[in-house]
């Protein structure tokens, strides 16, 4: 490790506090100009109506910040976008994106969550499903709390479903003997013909993890009751839409 000679270490508890102290002058300048904006630590979004206005404000504020506040603006991570609608559409901040007046989890944030679930259920590990589920829970509870501001609980439900599929795939991988898989499925109430069609096929473990036989044997209810899967999509918060309402993001 090398000593830090300038700035604050990223992730430090003091980082947001120092950002607020340094950028208070920026907040006042944005207010003075009558711009709509939101800021969390050093992540700031300002909202205008047209692309030309976005470019103009971006150049002005960046130049002012570098001259007066002596701050270096990362131009590559500071895009200027505009909308001709009366409300911001498609703007992204802290993993959220605006859809008209609604708030959704940004596509990139959802993809990172899926990647995290994949990292927590690596292929070839011999961890029991209970242990893997606990690892996912310890991460997911915090992640879901951070993104509970979304108006679309279906986005949380999709991550929960992806976690279950990853664990079903792990179960298939650990049950190398097909006859053993067959007995497990029939023991859990799957009809013999349906279990045989799934187990004795040439499909890979990922495809098998989504077959009716496997999802019936290891259902949503089973994951909650037996593995203690943490779910948040069923909380029915006041600002949430119905859990079946989906939003498609680019």
Using one digit for the tens of pLDDT, what is the confidence trace for 62-110?
A: 887 778 777 777 766 666 665 544 444 456 777 888 787 888 999 999 9
Please give the Cα distance from 230 to 243 (Å, whole number): 16
What distance in Å separates the CA atoms of residue 196 and residue 193, rounded to the nearest whole number? 5
**Which residue is associated with the tokens 């690892």?**
135
User: Is the predicted pLDDT of residue 211 greater than 60, yes or no?
Assistant: yes
Arithmetic mean of pLDDT, 24-49: 80
Q: Which two tokens stand for residue 216?
A: 């019936």
Q: Which residues contact 198 (CB under 8 A, 6 or more apart)?
A: 185, 208, 211, 212, 213, 214
Residue with tokens 């979304």: 150
List 44's β-bridge partners, or say none: 39
pTM: 0.76
Task: Report pLDDT for 179.
Answer: 94
Give yes or no for residue 7 having a pLDDT over 80. no
Confidence at 26, pLDDT banded by 50, 70, 90: confident
pLDDT (tens digit per residue) in 147-160: 999 999 999 999 99
Q: According to the model, what pLDDT value does residue 85 have?
A: 45
How crowded is the C-beta side of 128, counted as CA atoms within 13 Å?
5
């Amino acid at each position: 490790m090398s000593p830090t000679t300038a700035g604050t270490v990223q992730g430090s508890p003091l980082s947001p506090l120092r950002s607020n102290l340094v950028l208070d002058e920026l907040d006042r300048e944005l207010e003075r100009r009558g711009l709509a904006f939101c800021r969390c630590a050093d992540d700031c979004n300002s909202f205008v109506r047209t692309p030309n206005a976005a470019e103009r404000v971006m150049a002005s504020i960046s130049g002012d910040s570098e001259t007066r506040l002596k701050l270096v603006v990362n131009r590559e991570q500071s895009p200027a976008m505009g909308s001709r609608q009366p409300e911001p559409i498609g703007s992204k901040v802290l993993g959220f994106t605006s859809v008209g007046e609604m708030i959704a989890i940004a596509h990139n944030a959802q993809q990172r969550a899926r990647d995290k679930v994949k990292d927590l259920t690596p292929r070839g590990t011999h961890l029991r499903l209970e242990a893997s589920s606990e690892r996912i829970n310890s991460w997911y509870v915090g992640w879901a709390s951070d993104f509970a501001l979304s108006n679309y609980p279906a986005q949380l439900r999709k991550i929960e479903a992806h976690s279950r599929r990853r664990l079903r795939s792990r179960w298939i991988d650990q049950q190398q003997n097909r006859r053993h898989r067959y007995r497990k499925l029939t023991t859990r109430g799957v009809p013999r013909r349906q279990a045989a069609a799934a187990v004795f096929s040439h499909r890979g473990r990922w495809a098998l993890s989504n077959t009716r036989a496997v999802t019936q044997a290891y259902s949503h209810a089973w994951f909650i009751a037996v593995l203690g899967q943490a779910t948040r999509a069923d909380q029915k918060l006041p600002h949430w839409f119905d859990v079946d309402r989906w939003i498609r993001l680019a």
